[in-house]
Structure 1
Amino acid sequence: MAKVRFLAHGSTYDVEVPVGTSLLEAARKVDAPEGSACGGVCACSTCHVYVLRGKELLSESEEDEDDILDKAFDVRLNSRLGCQAKIEREGDIEAEISRESLDAFYNEHPQHTDPRKVKKG
């Protein structure tokens, strides 16, 4: 099993998943707000995350993923598509969900309140 922690707008989402699980599948298990407009078939970049820890536990990025990431917003050296990043070994992984992915998630799931838009005070 691998332990995955997702970070999004000040919240953390922790889950244990078996080797072979994608980061997107892991996020869905704990209702972490990771977008997936294409359903996880590497046709968009709405599941874009930043892998902060455990990159070596994930599958290597392939050409299809790199092509899609070329069209994503705020791409960094640690950017991955959650639908393509498969866990290959046990260990601890930490991923920050990108703003692009958060925007997509809340657009796809209007029944969820976007905490970034809640007025304080």
Structure 2
Amino acid sequence: MTQIIVLPHADLCPEGAVLDVEPGITICDALLEHDIEIEHACEKSCACTTCHVIVREGFSSLNEAEEAEEDLLDKAWGLTSVSRLSCQAVVAETDLTVELPKYTINHAREHH
């Protein structure tokens, strides 16, 4: 099992969380399976930036970002050198620390 430490986020995870997940799952799916309702407006098809996360620890263990993801990340709010679209970032065997950005650029936000 791999641990994902989710840093506190005022709306989505006020207390933060520690998730135990199987390698091979995306960060987005891991968050959703643990009731952290990260936005994913394109239904995890790498067509938006609403599931943007910042991987504070363990970034290098993730699969390499493809060109489509990198192009979309350029539009993400709060982009950093360790940003990923959580729907595309596959968890390996290295523990991760993930920050959920304060904002997204989802203009048609839906509450689940």
TM-score by length of 2: 0.85
- SS of the residue aligned with 1:68? helix
Tell me which amino acid in the other structure corresponds to 1:91. Answer: T
Tell me which amino acid in the other structure corresponds to 1:90. Answer: E
Aligned ranges for residues 101-116 of structure 1 at < 5 Å? 101=104, 107-109=109-111
Normalized per residue, the structure richer in helix is: 1
Please say if 1:16 is aligned against 2:55. no
Q: Tell me if structure 2 keeps the 8 A contact 1:14–1:30.
A: no
- % of aligned pairs identical? 36
- List gaps (5 residues or longer) in structure 2: none
- Take 1:63 and 1:73, find their aligned partners in 2: how far apart are those partners? 18
CA RMSD of aligned residues (A): 1.7
Q: Tell me if structure 2 keeps the 8 A contact 1:45–1:81.
A: yes
Q: Tell me if structure 2 keeps the 8 A contact 1:59–1:86.
A: yes
Aligned residues: 106
- SS of the residue aligned with 2:95? strand
Q: Tell me if structure 2 keeps the 8 A contact 1:48–1:100.
A: no
Normalized per residue, the structure richer in strand is: 1
Report Cα offsets for 1:42-96 as digits up to 9, x if no partner: 0000000000011122111110100111111121111110001101x31310100
